[in-house]
Amino acid sequence: MASKPPPHPEARSQRPDKQKGCAESAGATDSATGVIAAFDEARAAAWGPAQRRPWPAATDLTAAVSAMARGQGLGLTPDQTVGLCAGLFRQRMAAMQAKGQAPPQSLRFFEQAIADTLAAAAAPPPVAPLPVTPLTGANPPEAGVSRDDTRPDTRADARRTRRAAAAADADRDILAALGLAPDRVDAG
């Protein structure tokens, strides 16, 4: 019995609309097949044409339609969504191939990564926080003296002085207890 030859790569874009559970419009299916095609192209680029899939996995269309809907919900155009997915697939598959891993068999492998990538692309750019200057007291700093040179260092210096005095007192007490205090030492 002769086996069927794999379908032509361009014919693959017609197969997903026949998959079970897909009642999406032709536009959504066309965009979703773009995601599937990007997956297959990245797979072939990373592992070579010999590893090209003859047809999409049974779950690919559902995963691709979900990615397109997520992108649309985030305000991305279909072209942006397909482009982001293509970049993700190329990067991750090249890394997988470099580590000697086997190629992923379906889009479901990338579902969380797709969601994260689309969310990051749609997120507003981060806003730099405004610099916060600490309040150093009721009085403004003196002219010619920066805010950092006023109160905090003065407090720290006072603490260090108290600690040094306390340490010196402790040393004298220890020496006195041992009978070695400087005022009890004989000169001769």
pTM, whole model, 2 decimals?
0.55
- Please give the backbone phi and psi of residue 185, each rounded to the nearest 5 degrees, phi first: -80, 130
- Could you tell me if 150 and 141 are in contact, meaning their C-beta atoms sit under 8 angstroms apart? yes
Digits of tens for pLDDT over the chain (188 positions)? 444 444 444 444 444 444 444 444 555 678 899 999 999 999 999 999 998 899 999 999 999 999 999 999 999 999 999 999 999 999 999 999 999 999 999 999 999 999 999 999 988 887 777 776 665 555 555 555 555 545 555 666 666 666 666 777 777 777 777 777 665 445 44
- Could you tell me if 59 and 106 are in contact, meaning their C-beta atoms sit under 8 angstroms apart? yes
